[in-house]
Amino acid sequence: MSKKILLIRLSSLGDVIHTIPLAHSLKSAGYEITWLVSEKGIQVLEGNPCVDKVILAPVQLWKKRGPSIKSFKEYLTILKQIRAEHFDIAIDVQMMLKSLYWMAFCGAKRKIISKQARELSILGANEVIPRITENLNAPVIRNYMKYADYLGVNTDEIKVTLPERSDEIKAKVNNLLKNIKKPLVVIAPATTWAPKHWNKDHWKKVVEGIKDSCSIVFTGGPKDNELISYIGDDEFLNLAGKTDVLELAEIFSRADIVMAPDSGSAHLAWATQKPAVITIFTCTPLKYLAPPGDSNKYIALSGDLPCQPCFKRKCKLGTNACTNLPEPEEIINIVYKLLENRKNVV
């Protein structure tokens, strides 16, 4: 009988995707994997071959609702479900206060966390491994794999998967992209941290520089429409707010190139393993968060300022200088090179 592991990684979308290779390593070693996740990552896990079961913790709903008896009762119901599984091992990959309560009371015999855990989350564990992040020059995916290393599991392979998209999703995307005739370049220019946004006038120059050689499609959330309208002058297909996560993954899988700042969109595009991905880094660490793999296909760029990467939500210098780098001409040249390579392959 296989041993049962509970993975606790609640959010965000990019972080969940970065943890999928850990789940694959553990599953390939014979463990039965259950993943506790919040709304942001649920769609990339349900039906994903990296897990056997997925349990939803509606963290965003509870946050929106505020403290309430109803939310506490829902928490207890989910916790009861978790404890009924009688897990052999629980691994807290979140390592924050919001995972502490799950870890502490999940009922697993072994509760493992890294020494770098924050916000008192280490108190929920009974086994503490060394820091998994020694510096920001190693890929975060490899850091998460250290939990598997600790359990004696082979971690040579980095495997990422997404759920199969349904026929309904494929039909919807077929319809959305029905007028695409040229090579498809998808631009997802927004993310949740303002300092991670690349200069919007740079995006505008990139669009102007490549528009005659490809079909451009914008993606994002409903809040991104103003930014997208500015960048594209409302000349291109804008799907912001019109897709869910799996529909977006299907769009990315049809693209030749996806361009984005360091965001869930960039990591989702990488997870499809289909398009070339150009990721622009400003305040966050490139070597730590860049999509791994073939550097000719997964291209990450940033400036070279002394303050980079600060990994802060607010610029301490008040200049946001990193958001102006790299120059748009560099991105344009990369796009043309990738399109030329595609032409030669085809």
User: Which CATH number is 53's domain given?
Assistant: 3.40.50.2000
96 with 145, same domain: the answer is yes
55 with 186, same domain: the answer is no
Tell me whether strands 215-218 and 184-187 are parallel, antiparallel or unpaired.
parallel
Residue 210 within any structural domain of the chain: yes
Residue 162 within any structural domain of the chain: no
Residue 319 within any structural domain of the chain: yes
**Whole-number pLDDT of residue 273:** 97
Across all residues in the chain, what is the average pLDDT?
96
Model confidence at 135, in pLDDT bands (50, 70, 90)? confident
Kindly report, residue by residue over 145-168, the tens digit of the pLDDT: 999 999 999 999 999 999 999 999
Kindly report, residue by residue over 88-116, the tens digit of the pLDDT: 999 999 999 999 999 999 999 999 999 99
**Whole-number pLDDT of residue 341:** 81
Q: Say yes or no to pLDDT of 277 above 80.
A: yes
Mean pLDDT of 49-54: 98
pLDDT > 90 in the chain, percent: 94
Residue 46 within any structural domain of the chain: yes
Q: Which of 93, 120, 150 is the last residue of a domain?
A: 150
Torsion angle defined by CA atoms of residues 42, 43, 48 and 53, in that order, rounded to the nearest 10 degrees? 30
In contact, 161 and 22? CB cutoff 8 Å: no
253 with 138, same domain: the answer is no
CA-to-CA dists, residue 236 to 166, 184, 228, 230, 255, angstroms:
27, 12, 10, 11, 15
Kindly report, residue by residue over 211-229, the tens digit of the pLDDT: 999 999 999 999 999 999 9
Mean pLDDT of 20-48: 97
Q: Which of 88, 116, 150 is the last residue of a domain?
A: 150
- The tally of domains found in the chain comes to 2
In contact, 92 and 116? CB cutoff 8 Å: no
201 with 143, same domain: the answer is no
124 with 210, same domain: the answer is no
In contact, 58 and 38? CB cutoff 8 Å: yes
23 with 107, same domain: the answer is yes
Residue 156 within any structural domain of the chain: no
Q: Say yes or no to pLDDT of 346 above 60.
A: no
CB-based contacts of 131, cutoff 8 Å, min separation 6: 114, 115, 116
Kindly report, residue by residue over 163-214, the tens digit of the pLDDT: 999 999 999 999 999 999 999 999 999 998 889 999 999 999 999 999 999 9
**Residue 250: other Cβ atoms inside 10 A:** 22
2 or 27, higher pLDDT: 27
What would you report as the CA-atom Rg of the chain, rounded to the nearest whole angstrom?
Answer: 21
75 with 11, same domain: the answer is yes
Residue 117 within any structural domain of the chain: yes
171 with 144, same domain: the answer is no
Dmax over CA atoms of the chain, in Å, equals 62
16 with 84, same domain: the answer is yes
Q: Say yes or no to pLDDT of 1 above 80.
A: no
Find residue 217's DSSP bridge partners: 186, 237
120 with 179, same domain: the answer is no
In contact, 195 and 317? CB cutoff 8 Å: no
Q: Say yes or no to pLDDT of 134 above 90.
A: no
In contact, 265 and 188? CB cutoff 8 Å: yes
Q: Say yes or no to pLDDT of 342 above 70.
A: yes
**Whole-number pLDDT of residue 10:** 96
Tokens in use for 212? 């005659």
135 or 144, higher pLDDT: 144
60 with 135, same domain: the answer is yes
315-324: long-range pairs with CB below 8 Å, 24+: 315/195, 315/283, 320/195, 320/282, 322/195, 322/282, 322/283, 323/195, 323/197, 323/198, 323/199, 323/282, 324/199, 324/202
285 with 337, same domain: the answer is yes
Mean pLDDT of 1-19: 93
Model confidence at 284, in pLDDT bands (50, 70, 90)? very high
Kindly report, residue by residue over 235-272, the tens digit of the pLDDT: 999 999 999 999 999 999 999 999 999 999 999 999 99
Model confidence at 133, in pLDDT bands (50, 70, 90)? very high
Residue 199 within any structural domain of the chain: yes
Residue 116 within any structural domain of the chain: yes
Q: Helix, strand, or coil here: 36?
A: strand
**Whole-number pLDDT of residue 344:** 64
Q: What range does the domain containing 61 cover?
A: 4-150
